Structure 1
Amino acid sequence: MKQRIGYARVSTDDQHLDLQRDTLARAGCNLIYEEAVSGKSTARPELEKCRKALREGDTLVVWRLDRLGRSLSNLVQIVAELEQRGIGFESLTEKIETDSAAGRLVFHVFAALSEFERNLIRERTQAGLAAARARGRAGGRKPKLDNQQVREIKALLRDRDIPVAEVARRYGVSRTTLYKYVGVIMPRQ
């Protein structure tokens, strides 16, 4: 038996699900999964329960697109997974549904725009890194220790009476960082 299953989400506890709940119920959803969690959060347990409850032929219904995905690419990924499983998707506010050819077309245009956006970001990032390298800047974090400090640390570590932990504390780094800069040294107390 085909079901229309709703998913409603608010970003904070002081927001209310009433509008979404009422709209989803009017749209024929007998079962509605609800949660109050930021869309940026990767942990959305009610959404996971909802996705597991969906069966082939069912339709996942949301009030608005932004209630489902953390980003456009995440939304496209979720809907593509639903489509592979034979599950429809409907967004009431945007009037998008993937049960018809026209609805799938609209959604695939969104998917193409999402991929285009990712490619533009990648190209801009690569161009920015190339420009920085051309100006002599290297990417990555700045080193924790300079060459002078590394020489001092090596000299201190030659003295077996000085604990590695004390040297690390003195320079404000971890023992692991010391070992990284001075090479592999047998750990001491």
Structure 2
Amino acid sequence: MSRVVGYARVSTGEQTFTLQIDALHCHGAAKVYKEVVSGAASDRPQLDEALASLQPGDTLLVWKLDRLGRSIRALIDVMETIKAKGAHLRTVMDGIDTGTTAGRMLYTVLAALAEYERAVIVDRVTAGIAASRRAGKPHGRPSIMTAERTDHARRLLAEGNSWAKVARLNGISKTTLHRAFKRHPERTP
């Protein structure tokens, strides 16, 4: 008897599984494996477990194709694993069912589009950072270690406090403290 095995993934802890899990249960998934990890990540233990549980005739059900991965290589690897198990893939939103010839063709096309979308996002971020640097604007999260805080940390160290204690008092790691000292050289009064 074939089973429907569900897999749900969100990228961050702030996102919720509710929409995906409801859809997977409505489409016959008795068990749903879920995890919080980026689609670009190669280490996804829950996906590995879902794939390992597949038996001949089973279906791996996902909400959308991008839940399985963002690169063509990752998607093809997942698909090869599913095929080797004698199972197939079905998506709720994309209408893919690799149990059919049209579904296998559509899967290939959508996998290429998913990789393209990821590449476009990376290109935009890279271009934005480059433009920011050219304009002399800072990018990324601002450092909490201002010149004044760094000077205060130096005084604490001079008073005999340990690196670990000074870092802890500032709410940072020792590595960040070292970087702050490099970024803000000691000022002479």
Common fold by TM > 0.5: yes
Summarize the Cα distance change of 1:133–1:181 in structure 2 as closer, same or farther, 3 Å threshold: closer
1:41 equivalent in alignment to 2:36: yes
Summarize the Cα distance change of 1:94–1:182 in structure 2 as closer, same or farther, 3 Å threshold: closer
Cα shift at 1:71: 6.0
Cα shift at 1:143: 2.3
Summarize the Cα distance change of 1:81–1:128 in structure 2 as closer, same or farther, 3 Å threshold: farther
Q: State the Cα deviation string for residues 7-46 of structure 1 (Å, max 9, x = none).
A: 247844995976433xxxxxxxxxx542385xx635885x
Q: State the Cα deviation string for residues 40-88 of structure 1 (Å, max 9, x = none).
A: 635885x655422324x534153xx417763663893633532355532
2:75 is aligned with what amino acid?
V
Report SS of the residue matched to 1:83. Answer: helix
- Mapped contact 1:7–1:50 kept (Cα < 8 A): yes
Deviates more, 1:89-98 or 1:107-116: 89-98
1:16 & 1:113 partners in 2: Cα distance?
Answer: 23
1:20 to 27, 30, 37: 27
Report SS of the residue matched to 1:73. Answer: coil
Match for residue 70 of structure 1? 67
Cα shift at 1:151: 3.3
Q: State the Cα deviation string for residues 126-182 of structure 1 (Å, max 9, x = none).
A: 11111111110243332222234333432442233x565665566x33462434434
2:33 & 2:86 partners in 1: Cα distance?
Answer: 28
1:70 is aligned with what amino acid?
R
Count, aligned residues: 163
Q: Name the larger-Rg structure.
A: 1
Q: How does 1:160-171 map to 2 (within 5 A)?
A: 160=160, 167-168=166-167
Match for residue 181 of structure 1? 180
Cα shift at 1:6: 0.5
Match for residue 5 of structure 2? 7
Q: Identity rate of aligned residues, in percent?
A: 23
1:60 is aligned with what amino acid?
T
Q: Name structure 1 gaps, 5 residues minimum.
A: 22-31, 184-189
Q: Give me the CA root mean square deviation.
A: 4.1
Alignment TM-score, normalising by the size of structure 1? 0.60
1:41 is aligned with what amino acid?
V
Match for residue 154 of structure 2? 154
Q: State the Cα deviation string for residues 82-126 of structure 1 (Å, max 9, x = none).
A: 235553224477653324443211110111111111111111111
- Mapped contact 1:12–1:36 kept (Cα < 8 A): no
- Mapped contact 1:8–1:20 kept (Cα < 8 A): no
- Mapped contact 1:164–1:175 kept (Cα < 8 A): no
